[in-house]
Amino acid sequence: MKNNQHTLKKIYYFQGKGLHTGTYAHMKLMPAPVNTGIRFRRSDLRSKPIIEAVADNVSNTARSTTISANEAVVVTIEHLLSALTGLGIDNAFIELDNIEVPILDGSARPYIEAIVKDGLQDQEVPRQYLTLSQTVEVRNERTGSWVKIEPADAPSADITVDFNSKILGIQSAHWDMNVDYAQEIGVCRTFVFFHEIEYLYRNNLIKGGDVDNAIVIVENPVSEEQLSSLQNLFNLPDVKPTAEGYLNNLELHFPDECGRHKMLDLLGDLRLAGGFFNARITAYKPGHSINTKAARALRAALQK
């Protein structure tokens, strides 16, 4: 498969709070030279350190993907990496003045809408695809999750997600170069189960979560006291469960939006292998931990 490397045509600005830390950040997406890959710069730190977006730098996968190098840490990178991958961007600098990438609407949609209208800058140098000579597979025996990466002439991904949920059931998603990432995958938002919210909040996660950036699934009956507690935690308006089993804060883009969001995450996490791959990806119950382990295993296999 042949294609040139691409970067952004101009600088894009985003700002907002981080999903987990709740910290407010300003972020710039900037063009980068050929063979740069994706690199983050923490402009708020004295030395303005740079972190390369590769699996070797993954330091945490608790509900999102974090990379770090020395003093520099960047949290929740997966949606942005997914957007850059889905749109075909090889090289970019991302400058951030705080620890976490803004969650925005909980999907890759804001990046897509900003970038697509301008198109990409062709850098007139061939893209070097990551091409395997053998199958790579990683498994988590405790959760039953696995990711398999097989040699192929073109990239594709198929996932099956089982949330053990009567609301969501078992969902599947597919992506290849014929699927419109921007319309079919990139717009799909992150999600959380209602019964997880208080626990996550008390454990210093989803500090920036609200009704604008997450689908909330109501798996079990909810009391008025529980709804009141949710409103107090996040200063929410008067919300209630729908008959379909979601909070009435938003409408789904697709019946299987949660499954599609897991594909969004997978594509972002696998970008940490260091570039675009020619491989067939199949995964069962993917998540940030198994995804980034797969990216690390792919990276190791390519270096042999």
Residues 6+ apart with CB under 8 A from 37: 52, 53, 54, 90, 91, 274, 275
Q: Are 182 and 112 in contact (CB under 8 A)?
A: yes
- Report the side by side order of strands in the sheet with 66-69: 58-60, 66-69, 72-74
Told to judge if 288 belongs to the known catalytic residues of this protein, a careful annotator would answer yes
> What amino acid occupies position 79?
H
3-state secondary structure (DSSP) of residue 57: helix
Angle at 19 between CA 13 and CA 24, to 5 degrees: 50
**Which tokens is 74 given?**
């960047």
Q: Are 67 and 58 in contact (CB under 8 A)?
A: yes
The active-site residue, picked from 20, 79, 261, 288, is: 288
Active site residues: 288
